[in-house]
Amino acid sequence: MIRKKSLAFIFSIVLTACGGGGGGGSSVTAPAAQAPADNTPALSLNEAARIADQTTFGPRMSEIEQISKEGIDAWLAQQYQASVGLHEPIVRRYLSEYGYDVNATPNPGFYRRYAFWEQAFTAPDPMRQVVAYALTQLFVVSEPTQIFVNPLALSNYYDTLLTHAFGNFEDLLLAVTLHPAMGFYLSHVNNAKTDPVANTFPDENYAREVMQLFTIGLYELNPDGTRKTDSEGRSIPTYNNTTIREFSKVFTGLSYGSTDYSPNTFFGKTNPAFNTPMLMFETYHEPGAKTLLNGYSIPAGQTGMQDIHDAVKNLFNHPNVGPFVGKQLIQRLVTSNPSPAYVARVTAAFNGDTSGVRGDMRAVINAIFTDQEAATGVRVREPFRRYLALNRSLNAAPEEGQNYMGLGGVVQNLTGQFVLAPPSVFNFYSPFYRPAGPAAQAGLSSPELQITTEDTVVGVTNLMAYALYTGQSIDTYEGYPKINIDLSDYAALANDQEDLLDRLELEFFQGQLSTGTRGIIRDTLSEATGASDQDIAKLALYLAVISPEQAVTGGEQ
């Protein structure tokens, strides 16, 4: 009964707080980058906490205070300028320290997970890390055996998303297309041209998914993300089977490149080089003209890489990309139900209206985070992100040394998620998911509720309890440094109940803890007579982070 009631409460919060997204104002001018001369903060602490919550894996008090003092412009500028917290160098550090032995315990395939934990908690560019995480759920790659056992594969893929997260979408799309992890996952590595004698044809997998899932979707869209319709009111498809076949011809002739551990290059190579872009082998590339989207034709006689560049540009220039990609980034970063006007403003930024450059990701990110709806947008927190936020906010760190040797297997089992390990190319959940009942009747999407099940709600609750009451987070093998959380800031407030509640409300609820839930926590703490400061801190945090309303972020300030 408790589990069902909790999940039902989440549904009700989404419905009452979200309301389908507001109307049609314009993008808000971001607050000034510096506080006024009289030292009045640029933003309230609650507003700053909301921005920190959206732009990091878990707000820290120091970040909240910085954003409050300086404003969102300064925060965004700092994030764009920060050095990139790459994952592959961390994986190489583990390879240097522990070597590569597929029979070892732990398996070296976990090194890329260690790198994720380390950068999620310590990277100098927390916003870039969060945007890259959102991109992993658009450009989906997962870890089947051959990718898993090579720890450079997904660490380098994540680095590709990090590197291009603040660049141009066309470059990002090209880099994803040529990445060997994507080539292996969607089978366009070693994809050869038509062979009439053998009756074989180019693989269509990537050709289909790059359109359906990565760039333009199934139906023609207006700039505000709504579907275009024909004279009879029917949705207009963006492509057909012929289009898929024509694109599949483009993505032929690619095979693995050369690295220090896989030096030879030839088409059909099966020893993968996962941390260098795929190479073109012209003999195996489908020759001739290819007719792509909107009547565009790639001319005959080009090289294979020229064909790929032209195909990527054809996709990039399709008018659907702005609303299709923009809306999904809004959903991952801010709100499940952006209004059409919000989507249209982000589309305009993608199209170059604010920066003068089509596909400028910084312009898109600015439009997402500074829009007026960003201040009130509502979404359900992913179970994995809830646990990640607790650890980052409480400064999770290894008890000795620098190695975050957290496997994440228990976390994955209990939350239904781990980064770059979704069950299919369709991600952990659909951006269009509507839970049956009031949400669907109200026309509201809530993607994260597809995996916010009774099992994962209880699972993440158990994870929170384990972390808080053992002081350790993330599962590690015996003999390796434990990853501990730091409760000292909360323990220091244990003797002042209201200050403790204020800190909880700011850091974990962005100033929106309900009177009822605050009262429940207060009453429970009042009964904890004789408890130590550490135990009071644990109890207060536990009650806060397992509450149903903490599973929802955003709403009216």
Q: What is the band of 557 on the pLDDT scale with cuts at 50, 70, 90?
A: low
Mean pLDDT, rounded, of the chain = 92
Of the candidate ranges 192-201, 450-459, 547-556, the one whose mean pLDDT is the lowest: 547-556
Q: What is the pLDDT of residues 73-87, one digit of tens each?
A: 999 999 999 999 999
CA 370/CA 363 separation, integer angstroms: 10
Looking at the predicted structure, is the pLDDT value of residue 17 above 60?
no
CA 204/CA 217 separation, integer angstroms: 16
Who's near 529: CB < 8 A, 6+ residues apart?
none
Hey, CA dihedral for 125, 425, 347, 251, is it positive or negative?
positive
Q: What is the pLDDT of residues 241-294, one digit of tens each?
A: 999 999 999 999 999 999 988 999 999 999 999 999 999 999 999 999 999 999
Selection from 286, 216, 197, 275 nearest residue 247 by Cα: 286
Selection from 500, 535, 506 nearest residue 521 by Cα: 500
- Answer for the pair 132, 167: CB distance below 8 angstroms, yes or no: no
Q: What is the pLDDT of residues 404-442, one digit of tens each?
A: 999 899 999 999 999 999 999 999 999 999 998 988 899
Predicted pLDDT at 23:
43
CA 188/CA 556 separation, integer angstroms: 46
Hey, CA dihedral for 322, 325, 331, 332, is it positive or negative?
negative
At 317 the three-state DSSP class reads: coil
Looking at the predicted structure, is the pLDDT value of residue 511 above 80?
yes
Q: Which tokens go with 286?
A: 């489908």
HEC secondary structure over 212-257: HCCCCCCECECCCCCECECCCCCECECCCHHHHHHHHHHCCCEECC
At 279 the three-state DSSP class reads: strand
Of the candidate ranges 169-183, 233-247, 437-451, the one whose mean pLDDT is the lowest: 437-451
- Answer for the pair 543, 524: CB distance below 8 angstroms, yes or no: yes
Q: Which tokens go with 43?
A: 């933003």
Predicted pLDDT at 38:
61
Determine the average pLDDT of the residues in 368-397.
Answer: 96
Looking at the predicted structure, is the pLDDT value of residue 11 above 90?
no
Q: What is the band of 102 on the pLDDT scale with cuts at 50, 70, 90?
A: confident
Task: Count CB neighbours of 116 within 10 A.
Answer: 25
Place of tokens 């020893």: 271
Looking at the predicted structure, is the pLDDT value of residue 1 above 50?
no
| Helix (H) or strand (E) run with residue 431 in it | none
How many residues would you count in the chain?
A: 557
H helices present in 71-142, as ranges: 72-81, 88-98, 111-122, 126-136
Q: Which tokens go with 249?
A: 């011809």
Q: What is the band of 475 on the pLDDT scale with cuts at 50, 70, 90?
A: confident
- What are the domain boundaries of the chain? 205-316
Determine the average pLDDT of the residues in 372-399.
Answer: 96
- Burial class of residue 6, CB neighbours in 10 A (0-12, 13-18, 19+): middle
CA 189/CA 203 separation, integer angstroms: 10
Query: Radius of gyration of the chain from Cα atoms?
Result: 24
Determine the average pLDDT of the residues in 469-485.
Answer: 89
CA trace torsion 499, 503, 505, 508 (10° rounding): -160
Predicted pLDDT at 241:
98
- Answer for the pair 413, 459: CB distance below 8 angstroms, yes or no: yes
Percent of the chain residues past pLDDT 70, beyond the cut: 93
CA 217/CA 343 separation, integer angstroms: 15
Q: What is the band of 39 on the pLDDT scale with cuts at 50, 70, 90?
A: confident
Determine the average pLDDT of the residues in 475-504.
Answer: 94
| Helix (H) or strand (E) run with residue 262 in it | none
Predicted pLDDT at 34:
47
Q: What is the pLDDT of residues 284-321, one digit of tens each?
A: 999 999 999 999 999 999 999 999 999 999 999 999 99
Q: Which tokens go with 83?
A: 């050095």
Predicted pLDDT at 27:
39
Predicted pLDDT at 238:
98
Predicted pLDDT at 2:
35
Q: What is the band of 12 on the pLDDT scale with cuts at 50, 70, 90?
A: low
Place of tokens 């896989």: 262
H helices present in 376-530, as ranges: 383-393, 409-415, 438-441, 454-470, 488-491, 497-509, 515-526
DSSP summary character for residue 280: E
Looking at the predicted structure, is the pLDDT value of residue 111 above 50?
yes
- Answer for the pair 210, 308: CB distance below 8 angstroms, yes or no: no
Q: What is the band of 380 on the pLDDT scale with cuts at 50, 70, 90?
A: very high
Q: What amino acid is encoded at 360 in this protein?
A: D
Determine the average pLDDT of the residues in 531-557.
Answer: 92
Predicted pLDDT at 24:
42
CA 25/CA 460 separation, integer angstroms: 37
Determine the average pLDDT of the residues in 488-502.
Answer: 97
Who's near 524: CB < 8 A, 6+ residues apart?
539, 543
Predicted pLDDT at 402:
92
